Amino acid sequence: GAVVSQHPSRVICKSGTSVKIECRSLDFQATTMFWYRQFPKQSLMLMATSNEGSKATYEQGVEKDKFLINHASLTLSTLTVTSAHPEDSSFYICSAERGFAETQYFGPGTRLLVL
Amino acid sequence: AQKITQTQPGMFVQEKEAVTLDCTYDTSDQSYGLFWYKQPSSGEMIFLIYQGSYDEQNATEGRYSLNFQKARKSANLVISASQLGDSAMYFCAMRLAGANNLFFGTGTRLTVIP
């Protein structure tokens, strides 16, 4: 199967700081990576779709200046939560697909706690 | 608009028994794919099974099978011979043809009782 990693798995930060989360496809090249957010006991909500070398496409209601996404290579996408606030505390999970509309494989997620 | 509905917030099953997790969907598109993912308490999303809207046979993957009833717009997941390790959240998801983003249901928490 395809392996996707995320780093860090957990992060605690102070309000006002920025946090970067990395998503890597370890054994395949991902044409597209996706970033989701999941609140406790709720479903996954797509935040943005990123393609290597191009700007991310954000879902309605997601602040692009708040959640910066960079997809610098076919195996790495990063999500930076800028000027984090307590309401940004959540579980962030990425996924990657080899080719357009193929099965998405998910990373293990990152739990962010903003104090 | 696309919608995925999972009406069972929680389910219990005895170990070694079979269990069905319900999923209904709503779309006007004719071409789409349906997925089931498992999310253990660790948080990772594990892909279980896929069914294409034009697939004539129900998908099966080991102990997982998908009971696909297109006319009813349902794609229920059947887990046979439940194991304690099957205890987790299960999410049904849909993707439309020509798109690569997934729409997720609200999930069903399955608890396997020894």
Q: Which one-letter amino acid corresponds to residue A101?
A: A
Q: How far is B96 from chain A (nearest CA, A)?
A: 9
Sorted by sequence, the CB contacts under 8 Å of residue B58 that are 6+ apart come out as B51, B65, B66, B67, B68
The pLDDT assigned to A55 comes to 87
| HSE, side-chain direction, 13 A CA sphere, residue A40 | 5
Of B19, B50, B13, B56, nearest to B33 by C-alpha is B50
- The residues near B8 (Cβ < 8 Å, ≥ 6 apart) are B21, B22, B108
Confidence category of residue A1, pLDDT binned at 50, 70, 90: low
| Identity of the residue in A42, A104, A107 whose CB atom sits nearest the CB atom of B102 | A104
Measured CA to CA, the distance from residue A30 to residue A107 in angstroms comes to 13
Query: Residue B106 and residue A43: Cβ atoms within 8 Å?
Result: yes
Q: Token pair for residue B21? A: 């997790």
Q: Does B41 touch chain A (CB under 8 A)?
A: no
What does the pLDDT look like over A77-97, one tens digit per residue? 999 999 999 999 999 999 998
By the CB < 8 Å criterion, does B44 face chain A? yes
Residues of A with CB under 8 A from a CB of B: 1, 32, 34, 42-46, 49, 91, 93, 95, 97, 100-101, 103-109, 111
**A21 min Cα distance to partner chain B (Å):** 15
Nearest to A71 by CA among A55, A58, A59: A55
A95: which 2 tokens?
């996924």
Give the closest residue to B110 by CA, choosing from B39, B56, B57: B39
Any idea what the Cα angle at residue B75 is, between residues B93 and B84, rounded to 5°? Answer: 80
Closest residue in B to A111 (Cα) is B43
Round to whole Å and give the CA distance between B95 and A9.
Answer: 27
The amino acid present at B100, given as its one-letter code, is N
Pairs across A and B, CB distance < 8 A: 53
With CA atoms as reference, the chain B residue closest to A42 would be: B106
Cβ–Cβ of B46/A103 closer than 8 Å?
A: no
At a CB cut-off of 8 Å and minimum separation 6, what does B56 contact? none
Taking the Cβ of residue B104 and every Cβ of chain A, the question of whether any pair is shorter than 8 Å is answered with yes
**DSSP β-bridge partners for residue B76:** B67
B97 DSSP assignment: T
Residue of A nearest to B89 (CA): A41
- Please give the structure tokens belonging to residue A97: 């697909």
Whether A111 sits inside 8 A of B101 (CB atoms) is no
pLDDT in tens, chain B (114 residues): 778 999 999 999 999 999 999 999 999 999 999 999 999 998 899 999 999 999 889 999 999 999 999 999 999 999 999 999 999 999 999 998 888 789 999 999 999 999
